[in-house]
Amino acid sequence: MIRFAIISFAHMHAYSYARAVKELEREGRAVLEAIYDDDHDRLRKTSEIYRPRKIYNDLEKLADDKDVDAVIITSENTKHKKHAIPMIMSGKHVLVEKPIATRYVDALEMVEEAKRVGVKFQTAFVMRYHDASVFVKRRIKEIGRVISITSTNHGKNPMSWFVDPELSGGGALMDHIVHVADLIRWYTEKEFKEVIAFVGKNIIKDLMVEDNGLVIGRLEDDTPVSIDCSWSRPSKWPVWGDVYMHILGERGAIVLNAFNQNIYLSDEEGFRGVYYGPDADKNMIESFINVIERDEEPLASGLDGLRALEVVLAAYRSLELKRPVKISEIRI
């Protein structure tokens, strides 16, 4: 049984991961041993909801806790390295929210330190664990060589620290490129070679980050791909967003619309969509448990997190230089 700590509930995904761990606790597969948060009110509220065995506001004390086998890091993007390195050095396995970091050097240090210490280091690319995207992975060779991929990752603007560049590292491009870039790499088994990025006029005024953008890229075999990575859904939109891909091959095409399974509910909270499809978050954490217990390599490794971050950083460099940027220009 793996004993987990969750580091920070800053990211909204932390609540789903905690729910999944508690479900696995009832199944005898995991324990929510501890919660750490640097926000006192959030720590108090989440500890009341999820009832961990321990709570911490001191990161060093959590690192020293021998009862914790693994941590799930769901803090603000720029804090990932600060939270991950002490856990890795103390021998704890790490599952880190995407993007793995906001700087190449930070991501590389995390990956190399985990390899040196010998702990499992997994990136929370939850779409690799979604039943629909797994089905695409199993069937993609049936359409022959991939000719092009058009993809979107839309959502509502999460606001809060996501629009503070000091904590997020960027806007919709930082938040949304990584998921689909990772799926493109996973499906094609090819790396990105070059990208060019564009942003439009912000949908919400006076933001310090971009809330919509488009990335056009080439893979190492020159296959063209595009990623619409936008916070373009209005706040009252009944469904949070999408992960959509149109994959064209020499012998056919596959269309992935991963979050299309919804019912629409109207009650005192208003009109909204309720997703009822596969539980990818729970699937991902179950897979992480298996990785630890069986001494396997993660399906979505820290290196996968680094490779997806390279695409993001190349996109931002492209905006700065107003030209296509090769991935090799990002690597140090």
Domain ranges (residues) in the chain: 2-125+281-296, 127-279+309-329
Closest CA to 168 of 76, 231, 67, 89: 76
Query: From the CB of residue 179, how many other CB atoms can be counted at a distance below 10 Å?
Result: 24
Torsion of CA 139, 141, 147, 148, to 10 degrees: 30
**For position 332, what pLDDT does the model report?**
73
**For position 241, what pLDDT does the model report?**
78
Contact assessment for residue 129 and residue 156, using Cβ atoms and an 8 Å cutoff? no
Mean pLDDT of each 10-residue bin along the chain, 332 residues long: 97 98 97 98 98 98 98 98 98 98 98 98 97 97 98 96 98 97 98 98 96 98 97 82 95 94 82 83 98 98 98 98 98 82
The helix or strand, by DSSP H or E, that contains position 195, with its residue range, turns out to be strand 192-199
Closest CA to 192 of 328, 323, 332: 328
**For position 264, what pLDDT does the model report?**
81
**For position 47, what pLDDT does the model report?**
97
**For position 302, what pLDDT does the model report?**
98
Domain over 2-125+281-296 is classified CATH 3.40.50.720: yes
The pTM score is 0.96
**For position 259, what pLDDT does the model report?**
86
Closest CA to 96 of 119, 117, 116, 118: 119
Report cis status (omega within 30 of 0) of the bond before 99.
yes
Closest CA to 281 of 39, 6, 3: 6
**For position 293, what pLDDT does the model report?**
98
**For position 9, what pLDDT does the model report?**
98
CATH architecture of structural domain 127-279+309-329: 2-Layer Sandwich (3.30)
Integer angstrom CA distances of residue 266 from 238, 261, 269, 271, 278: 10, 17, 7, 4, 22
**For position 149, what pLDDT does the model report?**
98
Classified as helix, coil or strand, 13 is helix
- 322 alpha-carbon distance from chain centroid: 27
